[in-house]
Structure 1
Amino acid sequence: MTQIRISPATDQDIPELNRLVNRAYRGESSKKGWTSEADLLGGLRTDEDALRTMLENPNVTILTYKESNHLLGCVYLETKGNNLYLGMLTVSPDAQANGIGKQLLAMAEQMAINQGCRTITMTVISQRHELIAWYNRRGYQSTGETQPFPDDPRFGLPTQPLEFIVMEKLIL
């Protein structure tokens, strides 16, 4: 029987999280899934130091999704007042379209409710139309706000001009 566990990441998860996130977002391996950024960005999506810094922030939780102790997904959540910021929703390219992303999103929404947050916000690269549509089907809407993509190679090397749209879902 497959054992599924969604729980907060620890320092011991960092190497595996790093491999998962980079494999899911960038490079040839990411093209096995439907959420790849490989045609928009080169370079790495994150590294172990960045993940460690995230986990050191007391307002941050990275939820992990494991099946039989094998990491298949994660999501970054940061509490900012009465808002929960959601980012880095990741599912292994080989496991996409199996409901893992939906389960992680549901856990994030429950966490927002438990913390008394009024909204969940996120930023999505505007060219990622399929992903935006996926979030729309789950109640997230564009706020009309845009943000520039960082001019910093730590976030990737754009192959074209990129910007983020801000999406939001009211929780309470």
Structure 2
Amino acid sequence: MTTDSISVATEQDVPRLNRLVNSAYRGESSKKGWTSEADLLDGIRTDEEGLRIMLRNPDVTILTYEENGQLLGCVALETKGQDLYLGMLTVSPEAQTSGIGKKIVASAEQIAREQDYRAITMTVIAVRHELIAWYERRGYQATGEKRPFPDDPRFGLPKQPLEFIVMEKLM
């Protein structure tokens, strides 16, 4: 019997979160899944210090998804005014396409409704068409706003010019 749970991350989770996020977004391991950014960016997606800083921010909550005690997914949620910003949605490359991402997003949406947020917002790299389509199937829409990709190696080293689109789903 599979037991799964979604809970709030603590600083004890930082090493596992760091491994999970980087394995899903960058490097060869990420290419096992469909959410890899390895063809777009070099470098790491996050580091332990960045995750600790996020967890110490009272406006940020990181949810973790575990199955049979194994960390398979996470998402960062940040209060931004009346909106809840969703970022760093991660599912282990080996577990992608099993519905974990849908479960994590559903939990984020439940939190947004319970806490009366206006919308969930996010930024997505504009050339990630499959990911944008995945969010659109869940009711998220592009707002028309675009933002530059950060010129900061802590977020990766672009292999081509990149920008974000802003997406949202009204609650």
What is the TM-score with the length of structure 2 in the denominator? Answer: 0.99
CA distance in 1, matches of 2:62, 2:107: 11
> Hey, what does 2:131 align to over in structure 1?
131
Amino acid at match of 1:169: K
> Hey, what does 1:155 align to over in structure 2?
155
Residue 68 of structure 1 and its aligned partner are, at CA, apart by 1.1
Please list the CA deviations of residues 107-166 of structure 1 after superposition, one character each: whole Å capped at 9, or x if unmatched. 000000111101000000001000000000000000000000000000000000000000
> Hey, what does 1:10 align to over in structure 2?
10
Q: Any idea what SS the aligned residue of 1:72 has?
A: strand
> Hey, what does 1:39 align to over in structure 2?
39
* 1:16-55 map, 5 Å: 16-55=16-55
Residue 79 of structure 1 and its aligned partner are, at CA, apart by 1.1
Amino acid at match of 2:65: Y
> Hey, what does 1:59 align to over in structure 2?
59
Residue 102 of structure 1 and its aligned partner are, at CA, apart by 0.1
Residue 81 of structure 1 and its aligned partner are, at CA, apart by 2.0
Structure 1, unpaired ranges of 5+: none
CA distance in 1, matches of 2:116, 2:60: 15
CA RMSD in angstroms comes to 0.5
CA distance in 2, matches of 1:92, 1:104: 13
Please list the CA deviations of residues 81-119 of structure 1 after superposition, one character each: whole Å capped at 9, or x if unmatched. 210000000000000000000000000000001111010
CA distance in 1, matches of 2:8, 2:80: 18
Give the aligned length.
Answer: 171
Residue 13 of structure 1 and its aligned partner are, at CA, apart by 0.4
Q: Any idea what SS the aligned residue of 1:19 has?
A: helix
CA distance in 1, matches of 2:5, 2:79: 22
CA distance in 1, matches of 2:81, 2:160: 34
Amino acid at match of 1:123: T
> Hey, what does 2:168 align to over in structure 1?
168
Q: Any idea what SS the aligned residue of 2:36 has?
A: coil
